C-alpha cells in the first residue's frame, strides 16, 4: 500500500482552527502502518463526545462546535478518517473499502480504549460510526445521528440494488451541474450521479463538492476544507467514498453487516438524538428510519442547516447535544 501524508505546511494558519494535533498508529490487514490524526479538547474527566465527519470533510468541520461543547464541560475527540484531514492517505482507490474503514476505526478506538462515548456522526461518520456502535455497543453511552444513514437490506433490497446497478451503467459523463440539478429535483437517481461524478470527473475538487452540498462562500473556510488535498494524488478517498455506499449489487456484504449493526442497536437501550437539518437534499427524511427502528429516540430538526450542518448551524446543533446529554 502506497501512503501519502499531507505536508504540515498545508494546515498552517487555517481559519478558526487553533487546536493541538494528536496522532496514533494502526496496522492494516496487509501490515501497513497508518497514522490517524485526532483532536482532543476539553477536560480529561469530562463526558466524552466522539465527533465523526464524512466525505470530503475532516475534523475542521467541528471547529465551531468544539469550543461550545468544551465550555459546557465535555471532552471532545474528533478523528480524521483515513484518507482525509491530517490522517494518512492511501494513494489507490483500491485500498478503500467500507469494511476497511470500519476495521481501521475499530483499531483506533480500541487503541485509545475509549469508553462511555456519546457519538456525534454525520455523513460517512454515521455509516462508519454506527457500525462501530453496533459492533461495540459496550463502548457507547448515547448516539447523536445527523444527516446520515446506516445502510441495510430494509433500505436497499436485492431487486432495488440490481435496478440501480443497471441505471448506473447507463449514466453518461456527469458534471457537477448535473449532480446539483438531480439533487435539487429530488430525483431517485441523484445519488448515482453523485457516485459517478466523484469516481470519474477529471476536474473533481473539494471546493466544488462543497459548492454542490452547501452554501459556503467564505474562501478562507473553503481553503481549510481543501487543505488536506494538495493535488489529485491525495483524492483517492474523496473519489471512492460515494462508491462505497452499498447500494449497488457489489455492496450486499456491507448491507448484511449493516443489518447486524441495526439488530444490535435495536436491542440496546442507548438514548438516541436524531438531529437532521431542514435543508439537506442528500439525507432528507432519513431520520425516520432511526425513529421507527430504535428505542429512546428524541428527534429535533436543525433549522437553516444544509448537509454540513456542523458548519451551518453549530450553535443550534451544539445546544441540542448539550440538552440531550443533560437529559433536558
Q: How far apart are CA 78 and CA 57, in angstroms?
A: 12
Closest to 294 (Cα-Cα) out of 261, 326, 269: 269
Q: Strand locations in the chain, DSSP E?
A: 3-4, 22-27, 33-41, 48-52, 75-79, 89-90, 117-122, 140-146, 272-277, 297-302
For cell 483500491, name the residue.
94
Which of 80, 88, 95, 123 is catalytic? The answer is 123
Which of 37, 38, 53, 307 is catalytic? The answer is 307
3-state DSSP assignment of residue 214: coil
> 257-260 long-range CB contacts below 8 Å, 24 or more apart?
257/98, 257/99, 257/102, 257/131, 258/131, 258/150, 258/151, 258/152, 258/153, 259/152, 259/153, 259/154, 260/134, 260/135
Phi, psi of 9 (to 5 degrees): -60, -25
Which of 95, 280, 311, 312 is catalytic? The answer is 280
Q: Tell me how far CA of residue 277 lies from CA of 102, 122, 142, 300, in angstroms.
A: 26, 11, 20, 9
Is residue 123 annotated as part of the catalytic site, yes or no? Answer: yes
User: First CA to last CA across the chain, in angstroms?
Assistant: 48
Please compute, for residue 274, the number of CA atoms within 13 A of its CA located in the half-sphere on the CB side. Answer: 23
**Residue 41 Cα to chain centre, angstroms:** 20
CB contact at 8 A, 137 and 265 = yes
Q: How far apart are CA 211 and CA 233, in angstroms?
A: 21
Q: How far apart are CA 21 and CA 37, in angstroms?
A: 7
Is residue 307 annotated as part of the catalytic site, yes or no? Answer: yes
Q: Tell me how far CA of residue 311 lies from CA of 55, 86, 318, in angstroms.
A: 14, 19, 11
Q: How far apart are CA 198 and CA 124, in angstroms?
A: 15
Q: How far apart are CA 94 and CA 111, in angstroms?
A: 25
Residues with active-site annotation: 123, 280, 307
Amino acid at each position: 500500500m502506497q501512503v501519502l501524508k499531507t505536508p504540515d505546511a498545508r494546515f498552517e494558519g487555517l481559519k478558526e482552527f487553533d487546536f493541538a494535533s494528536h496522532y496514533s498508529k494502526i496496522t492494516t490487514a496487509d501490515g501497513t502502518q497508518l497514522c490517524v490524526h485526532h483532536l482532543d479538547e476539553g477536560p480529561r474527566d469530562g463526558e466524552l463526545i466522539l465527533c465523526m465527519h464524512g466525505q470530503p470533510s475532516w475534523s475542521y468541520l467541528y471547529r465551531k462546535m468544539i469550543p461550545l461543547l468544551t465550555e459546557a464541560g465535555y471532552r471532545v475527540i474528533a478523528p480524521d478518517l483515513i484518507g482525509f484531514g491530517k490522517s494518512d492517505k492511501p494513494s489507490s482507490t483500491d485500498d478503500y473499502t467500507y469494511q476497511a474503514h470500519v476495521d481501521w476505526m475499530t483499531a483506533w478506538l480500541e487503541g485509545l480504549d475509549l469508553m462511555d462515548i456519546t457519538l456525534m456522526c454525520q455523513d460517512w461518520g454515521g455509516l462508519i460510526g454506527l457500525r462501530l456502535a453496533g459492533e461495540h455497543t459496550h463502548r457507547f453511552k448515547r448516539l447523536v445521528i445527523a444527516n446520515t444513514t446506516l445502510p441495510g437490506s430494509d433500505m436497499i433490497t436485492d431487486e432495488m440494488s440490481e435496478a440501480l446497478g443497471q441505471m448506473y451503467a447507463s449514466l453518461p459523463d456527469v458534471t457537477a451541474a448535473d449532480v446539483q440539478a438531480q439533487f435539487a429535483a429530488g430525483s431517485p437517481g441523484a445519488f448515482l450521479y453523485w457516485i459517478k461524478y466523484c469516481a470519474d470527473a477529471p476536474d473533481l475538487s473539494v471546493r466544488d463538492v462543497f459548492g454542490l452540498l452547501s452554501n459556503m462562500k467564505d474562501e478562507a473556510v473553503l481553503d481549510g476544507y481543501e487543505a488536506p488535498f494538495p493535488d489529485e494524488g491525495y483524492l483517492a478517498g474523496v473519489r471512492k467514498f460515494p462508491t462505497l455506499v452499498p447500494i449497488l449489487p457489489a455492496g450486499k456484504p456491507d448491507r448484511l453487516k449493516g443489518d447486524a449493526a441495526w439488530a444490535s442497536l435495536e436491542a440496546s437501550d442507548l438514548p438516541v438524538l436524531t438531529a437532521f437539518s431542514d435543508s439537506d437534499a442528500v439525507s432528507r427524511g432519513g431520520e425516520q428510519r432511526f425513529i421507527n427502528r430504535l428505542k429512546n429516540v428524541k428527534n429535533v430538526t436543525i433549522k437553516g442547516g444544509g448537509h454540513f450542518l456542523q458548519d451551518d448551524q453549530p450553535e443550534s446543533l451544539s445546544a441540542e447535544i448539550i440538552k440531550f446529554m443533560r437529559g433536558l
